[in-house]
RNA sequence: GUGGGCGUAGCUCAGUUGGUUAGAGCGCCAGGUUGUGGUCCUGGAGGUCGCGGGUUCGACCCCCGUCGCUCACCCCA
């Protein structure tokens, strides 16, 4: 046992019933993103470290302590992506596509942290990015998409927190005011922040310690420092969402971990999940990011949503049924030791019917047991009798009381199965 | 990075104050039913008790270390 390998710390294999759930939530997202006019984008899982450092902030927790950074054999320094936005913006800058550029993705993300419930070293995100417009209608569309998505997968107990960081100027003015205010009260902060309060001052707003909450509550507030344009933008987003019947709570404390955010930021939180890891999706505007990554100034907005967290939230709400059916329609039982099963399977599969079978010439009883467990609707039986008579026996595996089973000519099997499946 | 809990069959777990061949349920395989699943009955396979060291006449049990899992802090999806 000690000789066998296992998945690295903080990573997980997804298989079996869980995999069906993954397929369901991913397919639902892809479908919805298509409806909203997004195309899929695939970018490398690793990038030059600068892509992340410049975007999410060199002093941010994620960049300083949590990135998987490595040097390749050519001496280049790369990082495994800790989040999904920066790579998309990098690709956008590189290819300069027509605007607006709307892309969705499904990607793993890597952060070197201590794993716990709802937090892993490798997790997966579904997300979208829109580049090329600062129209509040886009903010509305992006938030509405995520809202529709969570509803589509059956999530009920979630809320939307929204805030505006203002553009660069509002933001830096506010940070200055806040720092000045805090400078006189450092000793009243929580132990941890007394040491690091001037490193990333905004993050202090996110501190849950009573000391910090009390001080920041009494201090200068972010909404009071927005310029008229930023406040107008925020108001437009808010009313746009209301028009769609999407309600959200303005949360001045909502300060997200990446430096690239400007103006709108938002977070979807699940009330079915315990406090610490309750964010199931989050994002915001990043109007300066394209520039920071060497492109033309281009506003953008997007979100990332954690698949593992979403699944935890669904489970916490008691919803464990996959959104997609992955049980086969037909199971072929063959005891003739010929290629009969192989031919039937191929014929049905070619006609679009999910068909499975047993292998290794097992007894009919054994094959029937496997058929039962497969969840297939029908079993097609071929034994020496059927082979000699040119027939196939079709048996309904779902009939609970009476056993329903008839034999039909071999050449009529496809038509019979299709009609029984209502196709 | 810091702290708590836990590592016994594929899974969920028992295992008496350390005492001889380590158990159950589920799952798996075979048979009962010489061609037919879901219920039932019988039998079987499967464990170097995470790994390494120590204490002891003797360790799954006690001690130390290590690896892993898990929960929390921090941070975030």
Say what the ipTM of the complex is. Answer: 0.87
On strand B, nucleotides with any atom < 7 Å from a protein CB are 1-3, 28-31, 33, 35-38, 47-48, 50-51, 68-77
Nearest to A256 by CA among A235, A231, A275, A284: A284
A17-167+227-316: CATH number: 3.30.930.10
Distance in angstroms: CA A148, C1' B65:
53
CB A348 within 8 A of CB A186: no
With beta carbons less than 8 A apart as the criterion, state whether A253 and A266 touch: no
CA of A375 to C1' of B6 (A): 36
Q: What is the pLDDT along chain A (423 residues), one digit of tens a residue?
A: 345 788 899 999 998 888 999 999 999 999 999 999 999 999 999 999 999 988 887 777 777 788 999 999 999 999 999 999 999 999 999 999 999 999 999 999 999 999 988 999 999 999 999 999 999 999 999 999 999 999 999 999 999 999 999 998 898 888 888 888 888 887 777 777 777 777 777 877 877 777 778 888 888 888 899 999 999 999 999 999 999 999 999 998 888 878 889 999 999 999 998 767 899 999 999 999 999 999 999 999 999 999 999 999 999 898 888 899 899 999 999 999 999 999 999 999 999 999 999 999 999 999 999 999 999 999 999 999 999 999 999 999 988 777 789 999 999 999 999 999 998
Q: Count other C-beta atoms under 10 Å from residue A239's C-beta.
A: 11
**Which nucleotide shows the minimum CA-to-C1' distance to residue A365?**
B36
Place of tokens 């200055």: A176
Beta bridge partners of A40: A104
A397 touches strand B (CB under 7 A): yes
Identify, with chain letter, the residue nearest to nucleotide B29 (CA–C1'): A366
How far CA A409 is from CA of A378, A386, A389, in Å, comes to 16, 9, 8
- Tokens 């992955």, residue? A326
Residue A125, CA: closest nucleotide via C1'?
A: B77
Region(s) of chain A under CATH 3.30.930.10 = 17-167+227-316
Say whether the CB atom of A253 is under 7 angstroms from strand B: no
**Cα(A373)–Cα(A375) distance, integer angstroms:** 5
Report the run of H or E that residue A380 belongs to, with start and end: strand A378-382
CA dist., res. A53 & res. A90, Å (int): 12
Cβ atoms < 10 Å from Cβ of A249 = 11
Residue spans in chain A of domains classed CATH 3.40.50.800:
330-420
CA of A1 to C1' of B18 (A): 26
- H/E stretch holding A396 reads strand A391-396
- For A82, which DSSP code? S
Q: Going by C-beta distance under 8 Å and a sequence separation of 6 or more, which residues neighbour residue A319?
A: A154, A155
The A 52-81 residues near strand B by Cβ under 7 Å are 60-62, 66
3-state DSSP assignment of residue A269: strand
Q: Per CATH, is A330-420 categorized as 3.30.450.40?
A: no
Cβ neighbours around A248 below 10 Å, total: 19
CA atoms of A153 and A306, how far apart (whole Å):
14
């Amino acid at each position: 046992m000690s000789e066998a390998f296992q998945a690295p710390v903080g990573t997980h294999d997804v298989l079996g019933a869980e995999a069906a759930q993954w397929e369901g939530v991913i397919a639902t997202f892809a479908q919805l993103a298509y409806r909203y006019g997004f195309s899929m984008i695939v970018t490398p899982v690793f990038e030059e470290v600068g892509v992340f450092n410049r975007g999410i902030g060199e002093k941010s927790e994620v960049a300083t302590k949590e990135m998987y950074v490595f040097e390749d054999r050519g001496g280049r320094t790369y990082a495994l992506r800790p989040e999904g936005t920066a790579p998309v913006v990098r690709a956008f800058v590189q290819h300069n596509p027509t605007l607006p550029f709307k892309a969705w993705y499904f990607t793993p993300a890597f952060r070197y942290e201590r794993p716990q419930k709802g937090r892993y070293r490798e997790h997966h995100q579904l997300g979208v990015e829109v580049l090329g417009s600062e129209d509040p209608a886009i903010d509305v569309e992006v938030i509405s998409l995520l809202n529709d998505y969570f509803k589509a997968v059956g999530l009920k107990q979630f809320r939307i927190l929204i805030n505006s960081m203002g553009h660069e100027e509002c933001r830096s003015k506010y940070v200055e005011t806040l720092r000045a205010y805090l400078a006189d009260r450092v000793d009243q902060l929580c132990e941890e922040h007394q040491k690091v309060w001037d490193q990333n001052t905004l993050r202090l707003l996110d501190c849950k310690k009573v000391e910090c909450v009390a001080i920041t509550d009494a201090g200068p507030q972010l909404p009071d420092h927005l310029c008229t344009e930023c406040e107008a933008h925020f108001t437009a987003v808010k009313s746009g969402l209301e028009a769609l019947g999407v309600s959200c709570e303005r949360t001045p404390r909502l300060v997200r971990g990446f430096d690239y955010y400007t103006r709108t930021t938002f977070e979807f939180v699940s009330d079915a999940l315990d406090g610490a890891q309750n964010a199931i999706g989050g994002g915001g505007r990043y109007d300066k990011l394209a520039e920071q990554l060497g492109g033309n100034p281009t506003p953008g907005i997007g979100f990332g949503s954690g698949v593992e967290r979403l699944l935890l939230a669904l489970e916490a709400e008691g919803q464990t049924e996959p959104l997609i059916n992955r049980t086969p329609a037909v199971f072929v039982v063959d005891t003739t030791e010929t290629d009969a099963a192989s031919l039937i399977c191929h014929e049905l599969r070619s006609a679009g019917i999910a068909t499975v079978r047993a292998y290794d010439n097992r007894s009919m009883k054994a094959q029937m047991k496997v058929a039962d467990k497969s969840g297939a609707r029908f079993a097609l039986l071929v034994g020496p009798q059927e082979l000699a008579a040119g027939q196939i026996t079709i048996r309904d595996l779902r009939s609970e009381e009476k056993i329903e089973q008839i034999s039909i000519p071999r050449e009529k099997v496809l038509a019979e199965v299709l009609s029984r499946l209502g196709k």
